[in-house]
């Protein structure tokens, strides 16, 4: 059928938006998809669409922020389809607020859904894959995380969301480095697409509207899904520890933090001397991309 024939995939937050698009594209490429969403009706609608199109999918309503409950998603995938190959962490919410006005609850909600949510199901999946590898079975597994441009360069009014998404990017690097020995790759993607979250603001909804003339739908979420489907395939076994950006027809790699040559006195800088070092550092630096909304 496609590049994901018989690959078993868990997609979180797949009852709508990007997650639903990912589920449909993955299924069309032959994957067996566990459609995870706490909204059962939304998840069931996506499953019904996939099955009607000839694909394979089932509903899962595990709470990705609950470590014990999230294990049920992994168990269901294995019990239903006999194996597990991919965890695609997609679920997310917004609680936007300027930092000076942000509440503890708004901070905690974002950390739970995004950062802890990326940990829970992945942790149980890794335990399964590690056991398989230690038993001598070949493992060709994938963790695909969802970060954001907000996490890569900051975003005004989204300090909670930006911090969580930056944490996800760093988590991905660690997962890639630690899990390679078990046959597991880890990559992250920062998507830009038309979803309920991105079109909540009227100006964004207008900008991202589907063209009526039948031309290329630049903001269609399926544009992002294609990259993720390839990363989930056997062809991507050699790709790990990368953070990609996907928008329209463009795929790019986010070039992360790098240590510069720096200035080295060979001895302790006195506090009054640091200004001289700072001038040299700033004169040689490549400026970061501006914070969104700055």
Which residue numbers are catalytic?
Answer: 148, 161, 165
Distance CA 285, CA 222 (A): 37
DSSP-based three-state secondary structure for 64: coil
For the purposes of burial, counting CB atoms within 10 Å of the CB of 189, is it exposed (0-12), middle (13-18) or buried (19 or more)? buried
In 3D space, the residue among 189, 119, 182, 121 whose CA is nearest the CA of residue 152 turns out to be: 189
Per DSSP, helices labelled H in the chain are 17-28, 40-52, 67-81, 104-110, 117-134, 149-153, 159-179, 202-207, 222-232, 274-284
Distance CA 28, CA 147 (A): 24
Distance CA 209, CA 224 (A): 16
What does the DSSP assignment read for 191-240? EE---TTTTSSHHHHHHTPPPTTS---TT-THHHHHHHHHHHSGGGTT--
Whether 40 and 48 have beta carbons less than 8 Å apart is answered as no
Which residues share a beta bridge with 236?
Answer: none
Q: Using alpha carbons only, how large is the chain's radius of gyration in Å?
A: 21
């Amino acid at each position: 059928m496609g590049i994901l024939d018989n690959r078993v995939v868990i997609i979180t937050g797949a009852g709508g938006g990007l997650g639903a698009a990912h589920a449909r594209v993955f299924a069309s490429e032959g994957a067996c998809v566990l459609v995870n969403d706490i909204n059962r009706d939304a998840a069931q609608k996506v499953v019904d669409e996939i099955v009607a199109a000839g694909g394979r999918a089932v509903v899962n309503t595990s709470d990705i922020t609950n470590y014990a409950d999230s294990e049920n998603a992994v168990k269901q995938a294995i019990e239903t389809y006999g194996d597990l190959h991919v965890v695609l962490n997609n679920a997310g919410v917004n609680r936007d607020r300027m930092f000076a006005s942000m509440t503890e609850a708004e901070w905690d909600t974002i950390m739970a859904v995004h950062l802890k949510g990326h940990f829970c199901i992945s942790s149980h999946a890794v335990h399964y894959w590690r056991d398989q590898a230690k038993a001598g079975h070949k493992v060709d597994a994938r963790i695909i995380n969802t970060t954001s441009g907000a996490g890569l360069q900051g975003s005004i009014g989204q300090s909670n969301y930006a911090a969580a998404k930056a944490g996800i990017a760093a988590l991905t690097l660690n997962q890639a480095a630690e899990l390679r020995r078990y046959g597991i790759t880890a990559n992250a993607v920062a998507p830009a697409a038309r979803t309920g979250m991105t079109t909540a603001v009227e100006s964004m909804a207008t900008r991202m509207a589907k063209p009526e003339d039948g031309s290329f739908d630049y903001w269609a979420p399926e544009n992002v899904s294609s990259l993720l489907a390839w990363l989930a395939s056997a062809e991507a076994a050699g790709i790990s520890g990368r953070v990609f950006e996907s928008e329209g027809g463009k795929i790019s790699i986010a070039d992360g933090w790098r240590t510069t040559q720096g200035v080295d006195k060979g001895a302790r800088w006195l506090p009054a001397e640091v200004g001289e070092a700072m001038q040299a550092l700033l004169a040689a630096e490549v400026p970061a991309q501006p914070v969104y909304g700055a």
